[in-house]
Amino acid sequence: MNALGGQSKTSSAAPQARPEALDVLAFLEDFSDELESTFDIIGPNPHLRMTLHLLQGHFEARTVTPTSLISASRAPYATANRRMKEMVEEGLIEQRPRTRTGKSFSMHPSDKLLSQWMQLSGRLRRLATTQFGGTEAEQETQDYYFGGSYSAAQSIPPLSIRPQPLKVPGGVRVLVHGDPTFMVMDTLKRQFEQVIGSDISQRAFSIDRLREEGLRNAARDASRYDVIAVDLPWIGEFASKNVLMPLDQVMDLARLDPADFHTAGWKAAHWGGRAYGVPAQTTPELLFYRRDVFASAGLEPPATTEALLHAARTLHAPRRGMYGIAWNAARGTALGHTALMAFADFGQPVLDLPEIAGGFDTDHLAEGGYRVTIDTEAGLRAAEFLLELLKYSPPDILSMSWYERVRPYSAGSVAMAYGYTLLAPYFELDETSPAYGQTGFLPHPAGPGGKQIAPVGGYVLGIPANLAPERVPAAVEALTVFTSPEAQKLFVQNGSRTNPRYSVGADPEVRRASPIFEAVDAMSWRDELQFWPRPPIPEIGGIFQICGEEFHDMLRGISTPREALARAQERADALIRPNRSP
Total domains, the chain: 3
Residues 147, 240 within the same domain: no
CB atoms within 10 A of CB 183: 25
Distance CA 442, CA 458 (A): 18
CB 449 within 8 A of CB 525: no
Residues 60, 116 within the same domain: yes
Domain-ending residue, one of 124, 157, 190: 157
Residues 221, 334 within the same domain: no
End-to-end CA distance of the chain: 46
415: Cα separation from own chain's centroid:
24
Q: Is residue 525 part of a domain?
A: no
Domain-ending residue, one of 133, 157, 181: 157
Q: Is residue 521 part of a domain?
A: no
Residues 408, 426 within the same domain: yes
Domain-ending residue, one of 107, 123, 157: 157
Residues 433, 536 within the same domain: yes
Q: At what angle do helices 180-187 and 189-196 cross, to 10 degrees?
A: 60
Q: Is residue 273 part of a domain?
A: yes
Residues 289, 269 within the same domain: no
Q: At what angle do helices 333-345 and 540-555 cross, to 10 degrees?
A: 90
pLDDT by 10s per residue, the chain, length 582? 333 333 333 333 333 444 566 677 777 777 777 777 787 787 788 888 888 888 877 777 677 888 888 888 888 888 888 888 888 888 888 887 776 666 777 888 888 887 777 777 766 766 776 666 554 444 443 343 333 333 444 688 888 888 788 889 999 999 999 888 888 888 888 889 988 989 999 999 988 899 999 999 999 999 999 999 999 999 999 999 999 999 999 999 999 999 999 888 999 999 999 999 999 988 999 999 999 999 999 999 999 999 999 999 999 999 999 999 999 999 999 999 999 999 999 999 999 999 988 889 998 999 999 999 999 999 999 999 999 999 999 999 999 998 899 999 999 999 999 999 999 999 999 999 999 999 999 999 999 999 999 999 999 999 999 999 999 999 999 999 999 999 999 999 888 888 899 999 888 889 988 999 999 988 988 889 999 999 999 999 999 999 999 999 999 999 999 999 999 999 999 999 755 544
Distance CA 61, CA 361 (A): 45
Q: Is residue 92 part of a domain?
A: yes
What is the domain-level CATH number for residue 342? 3.40.190.10
Distance CA 422, CA 459 (A): 11
Q: What SS3 state is found at 158?
A: coil
- Helices marked H in 346-471: 377-390, 406-411, 425-428
Residues 349, 475 within the same domain: no
Residues 447, 573 within the same domain: yes
Residues 466, 449 within the same domain: no
pTM: 0.76
Q: Is residue 304 part of a domain?
A: yes
Q: Is residue 315 part of a domain?
A: yes
In terms of residue numbers, what domain contains 109?
20-157
Q: Which amino acid is at 362?
A: T
Residues 256, 294 within the same domain: no
| Planar angle of CA 112, 113, 119, nearest 5 degrees | 95
Residues 229, 270 within the same domain: yes
Q: Is residue 249 part of a domain?
A: yes
Residues 417, 541 within the same domain: yes
Q: Is residue 384 part of a domain?
A: yes
- Helices marked H in 11-60: 20-38, 46-59
Q: Which residues contact 26 (CB under 8 A, 6 or more apart)?
A: none
Q: Which amino acid is at 343?
A: F
